[in-house]
Amino acid sequence: MEKKLAAWGYEVVVAENGNAALQILQSDDPPRLALLDWIMPDLEGVEVCRIVRRKKEEPYTYIILLTSLQRDQDIITGMEAGADDYITKPFKHHELRLRLRAGRRIIELQNELLTARDMFRTKASRDYLTGLWNHGEIVEILTRELSRAKRESSCVAVIMADIDLFKKINDTHGHLAGDVVLRSAARKMHSMMRSYDFIGRYGGEEFLVILPECNLEYAYAFAERLRLSVGCDSIDTPEGVIPITLSFGVAASGNTQLQDVYSLVNAADKALYRAKENGRNRVEVAPFDGAMT
């Protein structure tokens, strides 16, 4: 059978018993098609099938059971264990080849469905213009991070960032140039994040940055780095070079009054408006039990 499968173009991995088959099927890169004999040493094929299906892992492995058992009840048992198909022995090689071809087609269709699912997930959670998390997703991420911080008695800091005088940019240079400015600012800020930080487009020209396990002092320093990095270079657009600056508001969950999403974001938003009122292109922080003002 190994020679036949190789001749049909399959890359074959042989398992000498049920335990070896299970290890292969639970590896990081399992075969997408599996032929399991029902009766094997150590662990029967139908039990291997049950264990694999119990995990419900992706990518899916299409399993064909080979068996000399021909009673209807045996066939039902095999299919209920999670087998996708079965062949009773003795069988003809062309029949096996056709069954494998059908299995491969199903795997190809599943791959297409998984690709489409991932694409729709991305569209549902990402901002179409900047590629950052969208409003709903970044708020949901903050909700999860706050819950985790409470369990671990740690802190979460947030930064509200806003492009200064963005309406003037749109009015002067046009909305297409404004889109380039938004994408460029988003890309620059995203490039400065740690692997476990988050940034999303909160709305319009506003961005929300989430910094897990960060206190107010660190978040303030990080916001300053963002401000200097984004504002140090003008942005080249189809309508010409446009200089930009950003204003920032910072808050942290360690404050006894800032323990939920609304109060934390609201505090950062108020700090952002103070930055606007105090001349823009600056960082302001929400009060932190008197530690910083």
Biggest CA-to-CA distance, the chain: 85
Return d(Cα 136, Cα 200) in angstroms, integer: 9
- Within 8 A by CB and 6+ apart from 291, the residues are 216
- Catalytic, 58? Answer no
The beta strands (E) that lie in 141-258 are given as: 156-163, 198-203, 206-212, 235-237, 240-242, 246-252
Nearest-CA neighbor of 96 among 205, 19, 10? Answer: 10
Task: Choose the catalytic residue: 205, 217, 224, 284.
Answer: 205
Rg (CA), the chain: 29
- The SS3 of residue 48 is helix
**Whether the Cβ atoms of residue 226 and residue 248 lie closer than 8 Å to each other:** yes
- The SS3 of residue 270 is helix
**Residues designated catalytic:** 205
